[in-house]
């Protein structure tokens, strides 16, 4: 059976990366180029995605003619369920949803308490779907066959998760080969097929040398992260220097981190 066929109400979780966009394309192909009525495509914006990611999501919805629901975490007295709908034009670009979450929690997400994914992405999607009457709904997640640890993690998830790319034995090589032939692509820095700017631009789970390189490339990327650490008086990742320190180092020296450090898996998707 084609793993991309949708036969019941299904949420396609679109992270804004090449892999989940490829999954979206394969679902379209499985249904004659059109999104089936049972499918709802959701993209959750944290406000810290790179502008190229937002442009890529917008390209997918316009070029492929796919309705994509843009969601954001929102915390205010008048917002009951802490989510709101936005679009490409109105989507936050200065970390506003993420900052609201930090202000509510009064502490930073970190390597031991990674609540940012659930609060900024998973819960807004769940609450939006619930508002449509979907208490239990199948969710398609863009995880490939060459990501076995993430696939295994999804199998233990209490929600109904499907990984059609893994079922179809899709690897990063196949995803990249697909995008090389397309008229548009995600215009972000890529290493070994993975975008360094996928998800939040300077996610604290990324390798330190990758973070350092991204800060060297565009120092202003570090400003928001450094401000949050200063505001709370803590670090996102105790194993890394502070973002303020990395910003300072980027102006003074290079090669300060171990290039063989392994990144920590983030389940926001690629």
Q: Cα-Cα-Cα-Cα dihedral of 95, 96, 102, 108, to 10°?
A: 0
User: Using CA atoms, how far apart are residues 241 and 18, in angstroms rounded to an integer?
Assistant: 30
pLDDT at 247: 93
pLDDT at 199: 78
Residue 182 contacts residue 258 (beta carbons within 8 Å):
no
* Cβ count within 10 A of residue 135: 7
What mean pLDDT comes out for the span 239-244?
95
Does residue 77 carry a pLDDT above 70? Answer: no
> What is the band of 270 on the pLDDT scale with cuts at 50, 70, 90?
low
Does residue 85 carry a pLDDT above 80? Answer: yes
Where do the CATH 3.40.50.620 domains begin and end in the chain?
A: 10-189
Give one DSSP letter per residue of 105-116, joined into a string: HTS---SS--HH
> What is the band of 198 on the pLDDT scale with cuts at 50, 70, 90?
confident
Residues contacting 102, CB < 8 A, separation 6+ = 108, 109, 228, 231, 232
pLDDT at 197: 72
pLDDT digits (tens, 9 = 90+) for 88-110: 999 999 999 999 999 999 999 99
What mean pLDDT comes out for the span 66-74?
97
- How many residues are recorded in the chain? 270
> What is the band of 250 on the pLDDT scale with cuts at 50, 70, 90?
confident
User: Using CA atoms, how far apart are residues 5 and 22, in angstroms rounded to an integer?
Assistant: 14
CATH number for the 10-189 domain, one of 3.30.720.210, 3.90.1150.10, 3.40.50.620, 3.50.50.60?
3.40.50.620
The CA distances from residue 133 to 121, 126, 127, 128, 130, in Å, are: 19, 11, 10, 9, 5
User: Using CA atoms, how far apart are residues 131 and 238, in angstroms rounded to an integer?
Assistant: 38
pLDDT at 265: 53
pLDDT digits (tens, 9 = 90+) for 202-234: 999 998 888 988 999 899 999 999 999 999 999
Its pTM stands at 0.90
What mean pLDDT comes out for the span 112-127?
95
Residue 93 contacts residue 50 (beta carbons within 8 Å):
no
What mean pLDDT comes out for the span 11-35?
96
Q: Which of 173, 246, 172 is nearest to 207 (CA)?
A: 246
**Tokens coding 185:** 């692509």
Residue 22 backbone dihedrals phi, psi, to 5 degrees? -60, -45
Mean pLDDT for the chain overall? 90
SS3 content of the chain, % helix, strand, coil (to 5): 40, 10, 50
User: Using CA atoms, how far apart are residues 18 and 39, in angstroms rounded to an integer?
Assistant: 20
pLDDT at 135: 86
Which helix (H) or strand (E) segment holds residue 152: the answer is helix 148-155
C-alpha gyration radius of the chain: 18
Residue 47 contacts residue 14 (beta carbons within 8 Å):
no
> What is the band of 253 on the pLDDT scale with cuts at 50, 70, 90?
low
Residue 128 backbone dihedrals phi, psi, to 5 degrees? -65, -45
Residue 142 contacts residue 15 (beta carbons within 8 Å):
yes
């Amino acid at each position: 059976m084609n793993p991309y066929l949708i036969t019941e109400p299904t949420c396609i979780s679109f992270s804004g990366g090449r892999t989940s966009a490829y999954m979206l394309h394969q679902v379209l192909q499985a249904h004659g180029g059109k999104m089936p009525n049972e499918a709802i495509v959701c993209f959750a914006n944290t406000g810290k995605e790179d502008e190229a990611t937002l442009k890529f999501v917008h390209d997918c919805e316009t070029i492929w003619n796919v309705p994509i629901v843009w969601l954001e975490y929102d915390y205010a007295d008048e917002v009951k369920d802490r989510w709101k709908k936005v679009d490409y034009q109105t989507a936050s670009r200065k970390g506003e949803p993420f900052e609201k979450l930090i202000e509510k929690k009064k502490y930073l997400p970190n390597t031991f308490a990674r609540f940012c994914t659930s609060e900024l992405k998973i819960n807004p999607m769940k609450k939006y779907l619930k508002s449509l009457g979907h208490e239990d709904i199948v969710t398609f997640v863009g995880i490939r066959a060459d990501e076995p640890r993430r696939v295994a993690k999804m199998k233990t998830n209490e929600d109904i998760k499907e990984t059609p790319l893994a079922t179809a034995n899709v690897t990063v090589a196949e995803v990249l080969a697909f995008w090389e032939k397309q008229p548009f692509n995600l215009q972000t820095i890529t290493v070994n097929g993975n975008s360094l700017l996928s998800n939040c631009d300077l996610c604290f789970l990324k390798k330190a040398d990758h973070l350092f390189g991204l800060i060297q490339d565009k120092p202003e990327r570090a400003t928001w992260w450094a401000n949050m650490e200063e505001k709370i008086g803590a670090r996102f990742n105790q194993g890394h220097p502070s973002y303020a320190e990395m910003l300072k180092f980027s102006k003074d020296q290079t090669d300060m981190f171990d290039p063989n450090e392994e990144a920590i898996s983030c389940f926001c998707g690629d």
